[in-house]
Amino acid sequence: MEVEALQKKRRGHSSRKMATKKLAPAIEKSNRNAGKGSRDQKKIGFKKQNDLDGEEITSNDSSIEENKDDFFIESEEDENPDEKRTRIAKELLSKINNDVDHEEMKDEEEDEFLQGLKSQADIEKDEIVANLLKRRAIDAKGKLHRKLADRLDIEKCSTVFIKGHKKAITDFVFTKNEKKLYSVSKDCCILEWDLEKGTKTIFNKGKKHERDLKNGGHYDEIICCDLSRDQKLLATGGKDRILRIWNTQTREIVGKFKGHVDTITSVKFDAMNDHLYTVSADMTLKIWHMREMCYIDTHNGHIGAALDLQAYTADRVVSCGDDRQVIFWKVIEDTQLLYKNTKNDTNCLALIDDEHFVTGSIESAIDLWSFKKKKPIAKLKECHKNNTPKNKHEFAWITTIATVRNTDLVCSAGIDTSINFYKFVRDDKTLDLIGSLPGDEGFIKGTINTIKFSPKKSYMAYSVSSEQKLGRWFTSKPSKTGIHLVKLAYK
């Protein structure tokens, strides 16, 4: 009797294996025909269930429940290599699509890219995944180039004006989520702007010549500022020659560093690590460590005042000055590359990508550079015309220049002039003027000390003041001193 029972049990197990093998193709066929309507799906499902009921399965409900895991394992083992690759590709594609939906740098161009891939039925799923992963990897390295200039609709851009500082605004910085903006001024104050609510808050109030302020504020003009990559630290510097580090959540000062012997003209956080870089009119580049809150090193190279600074990649920065040269600093190697401009000074600097950058000068000229060439590869002369009746035959200083990193969009501005937008043509190595933002009177009255694009490319902001941030060579009282927040429109 025991032998007969054992044989029946084996026959039942063999029957379940046969049923499993027959059921797997049916499920695959059902999935392929899923788009034919719910009615057909029900018919397919019941038909295969009836086939399953017709098999000689002698096991009771408890034995089926015990072998549930074996059922699914055997189904996966029955997959051929093509089916398995397709299933894995679908899972990866679903995960990537979910990540893309929440990605901060997602834009319309990437949407079109994804839709184009999905609409091509002849492309294998694994190829789609490979292209998406490759694009994501290139973007993470900062080497994904987007075409933005042709999509910008300057005429449909709207502007909101915000004011709060009593003296010339010298610098400002957006937060990553574009909800806040921090600005600094010659009035020794730091303001925090809530762009969603349209309100401002005094982040810190300094006072000129007051060296013993309890709140740790500046006692001379603030010239520059920048935010750390985690948005928790705000760095400011200016004419009091002291670098200050602020906690953006508590608004308290967490570090004060002395070392520069002249005005701190620019400050930048390294996007890849905990380093902070400063340049000064004392012709030096200094490096600070923010986690340890300590000084690291000083680098010399400029033979004139260093005026602007941009973070390139990890442990690499680019600076320019009134010595008519640009320096590419390799911090770890303690080496530098010099780019000399024999005709124009280098008043301001902006990086286009990891191969090109632009500089602006007081001669109203813009120079296009390649990191592989020691001299400019292209020049634009007489870019900005002074629109005031007194100086209408002269050309305006270029006081600031900005780019949207890894795109083809460049813009510049100066004194009593308009904001010009340029398209960087990579193949021809040229800058083509595509339009301008003229302002209410046909030009923007006053000095534009800073232009910046927001991280998500939703806004462009520029500050208008009566004087330049490092001096008062030209004074032109604007109608209002403040920040113009431009909502960018795209075609």
Domain containing residue 291: CATH number: 2.130.10.10
Averaged pLDDT for residues 353-363: 92
Report the half-sphere exposure of 204 (CA within 13 A, side-chain side). Answer: 29
Listed range (89-98, 186-195, 353-362) with the worst mean pLDDT? 89-98
Amino acid letter, residue 282? D
Statement: residue 109 has pLDDT above 70: no
269, 227 contact by CB (below 8 A):
yes
Contact 161, 480 (CB under 8 A): yes
Higher pLDDT, 57 or 351: 351
Residue 448's CB: how many other CB atoms inside 10 A?
Answer: 28
Long-range interactions of 376-382: CB distance < 8 A, separation 24+: 376/341, 377/429, 378/429, 378/430, 378/431, 379/344, 380/422, 380/431
Kindly state the percentage of the chain with pLDDT values over 70.
74
The answer on 298 and 345 residing in a single domain is yes
| Distance, CA of 421 to CA of 395 (rounded, Å) | 17
Q: What are phi and psi of 125, to 5 degrees?
A: -60, -35
User: Do 235 and 296 lie in a common domain?
Assistant: yes
Confidence of residue 63 (pLDDT cuts 50, 70, 90): very low
- Give the residue from 213, 198, 121 showing the smallest Cα distance to 162: 198
Tell me whether residue 47 is in a domain.
Answer: yes
The answer to whether residue 41 scores a pLDDT higher than 90 is no
The reply to whether 27 and 130 lie within a common domain is no
User: Which residue has better confidence, 98 or 249?
Assistant: 249
Q: Give the pLDDT score at 441.
A: 67
Contact indicator for 109, 150 with CB cutoff of 8 Å: no
End-to-end CA distance of the chain: 83
The CA–CA distances, whole Å, from 151 to 38, 145, 179, 264, 410 equal 43, 14, 24, 37, 13
Q: 182 and 285 share a domain?
A: yes
Query: Per the confidence metrics, is the pTM higher than 0.85?
Result: no
Q: What's the rounded mean pLDDT across residues 382-390?
A: 77
- The reported pLDDT for the residue numbered 463 is 96
Query: Is residue 196 scored above 60 in pLDDT?
Result: yes
- State mean pLDDT over 135-144: 68
Number of neighbouring beta carbons within 10 Å of residue 113: 15
Q: Are residues 331 and 396 in the same domain?
A: yes
pLDDT at 390: 66
Burial of 169 (0-12, 13-18, 19+ CB in 10 A): buried
Q: Is residue 146 part of a domain?
A: no
Average per-residue pLDDT for the chain:
81
> In this predicted structure, what is the pLDDT of residue 305?
95
Residues ≥6 apart with Cβ < 8 Å to 490 = 108, 151, 152, 153
Closest CA to 336 of 359, 320, 324: 320
Q: Quick one: which of 400, 411, 391, 419 has its CA closest to 468?
A: 400
164 and 59 within one domain: no
61 pLDDT more than 50: no
Least-confidence region, from 21-25, 232-236, 247-251, 278-282: 21-25
* Residues 66 and 91 occupy one common structural domain: no
For residue 89, with 0-12 CB atoms within 10 Å meaning exposed, 13-18 middle and 19 or more buried, which class applies? middle
Query: Between residues 388 and 31, which one has the greater pLDDT?
Result: 388
**What CA–CA distance (Å, rounded) separates 245 from 292?**
12
Same domain, 74 and 87: no
pLDDT band for position 42 (50/70/90)?
A: very low
Q: Is 206 a member of any domain?
A: yes
pLDDT in tens, 77-88: 567 777 777 777
pLDDT digits (tens, 9 = 90+) for 422-447: 999 988 999 999 999 987 667 888 89
* Confidence tier at 282 by pLDDT (50, 70, 90): very high
Is there a domain that residue 400 lies in?
yes
Q: Is residue 148 part of a domain?
A: no
Q: Tell me whether residue 145 is in a domain.
A: no
If asked whether residues 63 and 124 sit together in one domain, one would say: no
pLDDT at 145: 81
The answer on 373 and 327 residing in a single domain is yes
* Cα 125 off chain centre by: 29
Q: Is 348 part of a structural domain of the chain? A: yes
Is residue 409 within 8 Å of residue 458, measured between CB atoms? no
* Average pLDDT over every residue of 121-125: 55
333 pLDDT higher than 60: yes
pLDDT of 192: 97
Total domain count for the chain?
3
Please tell me which of 138-142, 152-156, 237-241, 469-473 the model is most confident about, judged by mean pLDDT. Answer: 237-241
Checking if the pLDDT of 3 tops 50, the result is no
Q: Across 21-168, where does the E strand assignment appear?
A: 158-162
Note down the domain range covering 38. 2-78
- The reply to whether 160 falls in a domain is yes
- How much is the pLDDT for 98? 61
- Please check whether residues 396 and 323 belong to one and the same domain: yes
Nearest CA-CA partner of 22 in 50, 57, 58, 48: 48
Residues 99 and 64 in one domain: no
- Average the pLDDT over 211-226 and give the result: 94
